[in-house]
């Protein structure tokens, strides 16, 4: 006896493959932050003092600190090192701020994804 269902001869369609949009979005955000950290940490910045800065810091006058050093060359060497150390500290603070923003963004993405999953389950 033949089947009375006219659609029985057709196979059911294959289940649709899940698209992982959130996963790729999350990975793109991670890549952006990683590139931001690498570029920020590798940035050289301007650490050599200009002639005007050297004249103010190591020159003669009321704002000069030349009396604290043995010579003008010693003052120049120390001032260059101070500027280099300050640039390194600023770079470290910048990287720390990017890491903090990264953590906050990841936390918010996790909360949004959790809410989405809970809403989809109902």
Splitting the chain (122 residues) into consecutive groups of 10 residues, what average pLDDT does each group show? 64 77 93 94 74 76 72 82 86 94 96 91 76
From the list 87, 91, 95, 85, the residue with the least C-alpha distance to 46 is: 87
Q: What is the pLDDT of residue 113?
A: 92
Instruction: Please give the backbone phi and psi of residue 48, each rounded to the nearest 5 degrees, phi first.
Output: -80, 130
Q: What is the pLDDT of residue 48?
A: 73
- Nearest 5 degrees, angle CA 95-CA 100-CA 101? 95
Q: What is the pLDDT of residue 3?
A: 59
> For residues 77-111, b (16+ Cβ closer than 10 Å) or e, as one string?
eebeeebeeeeeeebeeeeeebeeebeeeeeeeee
Q: What is the pLDDT of residue 114?
A: 93
> For residues 29-46, b (16+ Cβ closer than 10 Å) or e, as one string?
eeeebeebeeeeeeeeee
Q: What is the pLDDT of residue 51?
A: 77
Instruction: Please give the backbone phi and psi of residue 60, each rounded to the nearest 5 degrees, phi first.
Output: -100, 140
Q: What is the pLDDT of residue 28?
A: 96
């Amino acid at each position: 006896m033949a089947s009375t269902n006219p659609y029985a001869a057709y196979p059911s369609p294959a289940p649709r493959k899940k698209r992982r949009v959130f996963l790729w979005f999350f990975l793109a955000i991670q890549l952006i932050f990683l590139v931001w950290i690498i570029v920020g940490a590798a940035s050289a910045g301007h650490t050599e003092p200009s002639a005007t800065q050297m004249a103010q810091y190591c020159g003669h006058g009321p704002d000069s600190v030349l009396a604290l050093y043995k010579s003008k060359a010693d003052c120049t060497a120390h001032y260059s090192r101070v500027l280099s150390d300050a640039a390194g500290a600023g770079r470290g603070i910048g990287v720390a701020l990017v890491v903090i923003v990264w953590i906050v963004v990841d936390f918010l993405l996790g909360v949004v994804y959790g809410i989405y999953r809970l809403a989809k389950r109902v």
